[in-house]
Amino acid sequence: MRVKICGITQPQQGKAIASFGATALGFICVPTSPRYINIEQIRAVVEQLPEKIDKIGVFANTSVPEITQTVVHSGLTGVQLHGDESPEFCQQLRQLLPDIEIIKALRIRSFEDTEKAETYTSNADTLLLDAYHPQQLGGTGTTLDWTMLQQFRPSCPWFLAGGLTPENIIQALTQITPSGIDLSSGVERAPGDKDLDKVAKLFEKLHSKC
């Protein structure tokens, strides 16, 4: 199972989190976010990471040229679209960045929202289901109704996000079986400042479940 820790801002924390066993790190490329970092800062973290780690830039309603520029200059291996991007937008991005993983994030309020997710499976490599919040796009600490996702069987891999913590991760994974999990605020001291003790505890819990 993939384990993505999102909202990385500091090179040493990124390196440490990769050593714990994270398979992907996420970088927030949304300027209004408290976890935002620019191209140079992303590159400073990426340079500390093993090649096998996926490096995902998180964007929201950003233009295709701006996303492409960020990817090319920062060393990202994937793009997570967390705004109102359409399947056609994903396809346009795919044509310009054929070797980059495209993750489409969807904020889920009801089971009907999970049905909408299927419309992206032809144009995105991976889906990410996050909790809905009226003002914030992610990192809110709000959990999804996991029972609502028990019938969710998309035709592509998917991440579970939304309020996951070392304390509730086993409960979540006993109810549903995502392809990966994505944590941000659940392993932080403050936005963008990861708590390495919490990250270590997360991997202890995951290893105990295996």
150: amino acid identity, one letter: Q
Residue 25 to residue 19: CA distance in whole angstroms = 12
CA of residue 72 relative to chain centroid, distance = 19
Catalytic residue IDs: 6, 130
**b/e 73-102 (16+ beta carbons within 10 angstroms → b):** ebebbbbbbbeebeeebbeebbeebeebbb
Asked whether the beta carbons of 192 and 7 are under 8 A apart, the reply is: yes
Asked whether the beta carbons of 156 and 121 are under 8 A apart, the reply is: yes
Asked whether the beta carbons of 38 and 74 are under 8 A apart, the reply is: no
Asked whether the beta carbons of 37 and 76 are under 8 A apart, the reply is: no
Output the CA–CA distances (angstroms, integers) from residue 62 to 82, 89, 116, 167, in the order listed: 10, 10, 21, 34
